[in-house]
Amino acid sequence: LRFRLITIVKKEIEMAVLVGKDAPDFTAPTVMPDNSINKSFNFKKYLGGSEGILFFYPKDFTFVCPSEIIAFNNRLKEFTSRGVKVVGVSTDTAETHLKWKNTDVNNGGIGNVQYPIVGDDSQKITKAYDVMVEGKGIAYRGTFLINKQGKVVHQVINDLPLGRNIDEAIRMIDTLQFTEKHGEVCPAGWNKGAEGMKPDAAGVADYLKKHAKKL
């Protein structure tokens, strides 16, 4: 029992928390919005100093995955209007991604989504972001928000049956951009247009005086 407990603790310690660290860069074959395959797509070069959302999903031609991929695409204007670039990744090949894009939505396909989808059949990218499902060769539903300096500022990892909330990803972008612009922090449940909090004792007291009962 003692050995088992030590093993479990060691495994938990090894799991990556990437917030505050440089987002791992990569070059890999990628299906582009125009349906070409860019065999030397580089993530950091593509971002070009912009903020980015990098999301992982388990597998092409499956169930929850197309709903998420289409949901990202349906909100793509929300991301681009904020200057944020979206990139998807799974451990399928780029060629399989393209077949899925060429499959009609009514037949379980994803249609002509307009952001890059990376083929990580080597599994190196998935492992670098520590979202690999052990023993299955696929990724958890990981979402990473990356700032203009190339650092991860937010990450959330869902288990396979749990579809992610794309609107929450947009909200987190709004919080990041608000803090960068105003130098204030965003309290619980903050949404775009709401009041922020000055990051000092007077600021928190003033905010809680007005909003504590609504939190």
Measured CA to CA, the distance from residue 37 to residue 66 in angstroms comes to 20
Beta strands in the chain (DSSP E): 27-31, 37-42, 51-56, 84-90, 117-119, 132-133, 138-139, 141-146, 152-158
65 labelled catalytic: yes
- What's the chain's length in residues? 215
Bridge-based pairing state of the strands 84-90 and 51-56: parallel
> From the candidates 53, 65, 125, 176, which is the catalytic residue?
65
All residues at 6 or more sequence positions from 211 whose CB lies less than 8 Å from its CB, including other chains:
187, 195
**Count of H-run helices and E-run strands, the chain:** 8, 9
All residues at 6 or more sequence positions from 124 whose CB lies less than 8 Å from its CB, including other chains:
26, 28
Which residues participate in catalysis according to the annotation? 65
